[in-house]
């Protein structure tokens, strides 16, 4: 059984949280993710959840309280954006190192300055080496589904890592669209109970979290996190497969659209994939063999799946919604690295688009495709939708 409703990306996250019914949510307001704790606090006020909601005094305290609650044995969730994410930065690698399976609704927004409340991926891209799992979603349905799958992936004994469920600020978070919800009991049956390893509140078996480990042990502990990350793709696939069986909605690590016979492929993330896919259709109608690949799982980076989808293309355009100032854009760098490791050389263009919420239209995608089709290839970074 399921029900369909018109909802926003933020409300979809809040609804997933209501159904998950976490033990603790500690959150702090910041645009555009504020709707999530606002909506959730209504559920708390109406007694629809058992959650202990901690309305902290900063994002730093939000993630610190989440981490402490998570290692205590609680199931924990939160949400934030941009500067809030940046303020939490110190605690992210600690949460990953303590193997705290926090599920985090990250609503992408540009980092200042200038201060700007609209979408780009500069906030989450700055956290790509923090040891968290990163999943980028295209629409509200996917955000809702990924929050639920995220619990299972994060808490899996072979993983035990926190997860960012990313959606585009305003574009997805505030856009009302139809979302199909599972029944409450279906969600509970899918996620099960959390069975924490070494909870802090197990008084009879005391443990210490947060030891000082210097030159003699730090490296080995980091190596264990590397190993945990290696298990993520397998666990992700198992969970996604089970989820697809229950709901009919399938979420591979990369979402390929008409790439099978494509000569030219755009690689993109999150909501802009919609405009890119529309452009694929219109260019196909005009006889161009083009396709689109959307990266869903970004950390760990699913290199094999990406190479498999790109290997037969004649040229590629990687579109980043974040710049790495002074170096090539982050997704572009990763894609090139994956192809290089596979021994494949395909000419690849790099574009930065949509910073600070600048709209991404089909004609922007077409511009990138036409560069590929007309063999205008260059390692120089180019910009879509920018006045120069």
Q: Are 305 and 252 in contact (CB under 8 A)?
A: yes
Q: Which CB sits closer to other proteins, 76 or 272?
A: 76
Binding marks (x or -) toward other proteins, 22..51, rule CB under 8 A? Answer: -xx-x-----------------------xx
| Between 217 and 340, CB nearer to other proteins | 217
Question: 177 by DSSP, 3-state: which?
Answer: strand
Shortest CB 86 distance to other proteins, Å: 15
Q: Measured from the CB of residue 212, what is the shortest distance to other proteins in angstroms?
A: 5
The DSSP annotation for 366-382 comes to HHHHHHHHTT---SSEE
State which residue, 68 or 313, has the beta carbon closest to other proteins: 68
Q: Which is nearer to other proteins, 211 or 374 (CB)?
A: 211
**CB-nearer residue toward other proteins: 91 or 317:** 91
Judged by CB under 8 A, the residue of 55, 224, 241, 378 near other proteins is: 55
- # of chain residues touching other proteins (CB under 8 A): 44
Burial of residue 124 (CB within 10 Å: 0-12, 13-18, 19+) is buried
d(CA 106, CA 30): 11
Whether the CB-CB separation of 26 and 65 falls below 8 Å is answered with yes
Q: CB-based burial of residue 350 (10 Å sphere; 0-12 exposed, 13-18 middle, 19+ buried)?
A: buried
Site for other proteins in 196-255 (CB under 8 A): 200-203, 206-214, 217
Name which position in 66, 149, 191, 275 contacts other proteins (CB under 8 A).
66
Q: Please tell me the distance from the alpha carbon of residue 387 to that of residue 345, in angstroms, as a whole number.
A: 32
Which residues, in sequence order, are CB contacts of 123 under 8 Å at separation 6+?
81, 82, 83, 85, 86, 106, 108, 109, 110, 111
Q: Which two three-digit tokens encode residue 38?
A: 């606002």
Burial class (CB in 10 A: 0-12, 13-18, 19+), 342: middle
d(CA 164, CA 134): 5
Q: Which stretch binds other proteins (CB under 8 A): 68-76, 311-319, 323-331, 360-368?
A: 68-76
Report the residue from 2, 4, 6, 58 that binds other proteins according to the rule CB under 8 A.
Answer: 58
Question: Applying CB under 8 A, which of residues 30, 65, 85, 372 lies at the interface with other proteins?
Answer: 65
Of 114 and 206, the one with the shorter C-beta distance to other proteins is 206
Intra-chain end-to-end CA distance of the chain, in Å: 52
Contact flags string 154-193 toward other proteins, x per CB under 8 A: ----------------------------------------
Q: Would you say 355 and 321 are in contact if contact means Cβ atoms under 8 Å apart?
A: yes
Residue from 69, 182, 187, 305 in contact with other proteins (CB under 8 A): 69
Residue 299-318 contact track with other proteins, rule CB under 8 A, x = bound? --------------------
- Selected from 44, 48, 56, 117, the binder of other proteins by CB under 8 A is 56
To other proteins, the closest distance from the beta carbon of 55 in angstroms equals: 7
Binding site for other proteins (CB under 8 A): 23-24, 26, 50-52, 54-58, 60-62, 64-74, 76, 90-91, 94, 98, 200-203, 206-214, 217
């Amino acid at each position: 059984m399921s029900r369909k409703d018109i909802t926003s990306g933020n409300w979809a996250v809040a609804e997933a949280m209501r159904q998950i019914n976490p033990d603790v949510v500690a959150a702090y307001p910041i645009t555009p993710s504020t709707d999530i704790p606002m909506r959730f606090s209504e559920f708390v006020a109406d007694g629809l959840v058992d959650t202990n909601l901690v309305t902290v005094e900063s994002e730093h305290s939000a993630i610190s309280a989440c981490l402490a609650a998570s290692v205590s044995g609680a199931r924990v969730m939160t949400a934030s954006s941009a500067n809030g994410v940046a303020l939490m930065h110190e605690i992210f690698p600690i949460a990953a190192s303590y193997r705290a399976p926090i599920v985090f609704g990250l609503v992408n927004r540009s980092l200042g300055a200038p201060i700007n409340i609209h979408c780009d991926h500069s906030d989450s891209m700055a956290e790509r080496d923090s040891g968290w799992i990163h999943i980028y979603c295209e629409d509200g349905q996917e955000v809702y589904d990924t929050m639920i799958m995220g619990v299972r992936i994060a808490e899996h004994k072979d993983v035990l890592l926190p997860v960012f469920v990313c959606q585009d600020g305003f574009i997805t978070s505030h856009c009302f669209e139809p979302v199909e919800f599972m029944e409450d009991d279906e969600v509970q049956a899918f996620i099960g109970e959390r069975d924490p390893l070494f909870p802090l509140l197990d008084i009879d078996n005391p443990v210490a979290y947060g030891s000082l480990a210097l030159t003699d042990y730090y490296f080995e502990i980091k190596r264990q996190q590397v190993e945990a990350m290696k298990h993520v793709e397998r666990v992700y696939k198992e969970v996604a497969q089970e989820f697809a069986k229950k709901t009919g909605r399938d979420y591979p690590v990369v979402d390929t659209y008409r790439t099978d016979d494509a000569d030219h492929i755009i690689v993109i993330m999150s909501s802009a994939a919609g405009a890119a896919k529309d452009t694929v259709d219109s260019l196909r109608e005009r006889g161009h063999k083009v396709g689109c690949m959307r990266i869903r799982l970004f950390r760990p980076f699913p290199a094999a799946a990406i190479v498999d989808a790109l290997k037969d293309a004649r040229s590629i355009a990687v579109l980043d919604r974040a710049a790495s100032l002074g170096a090539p854009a982050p997704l572009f760098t990763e894609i090139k690295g994956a192809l290089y490791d596979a021994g494949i050389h395909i000419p690849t263009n790099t574009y930065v688009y949509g910073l600070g919420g600048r709209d991404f239209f089909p004609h922007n995608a077409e511009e990138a495709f036409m560069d590929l089709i007309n063999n205008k290839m260059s390692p120089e970074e180019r910009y879509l939708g920018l006045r120069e």
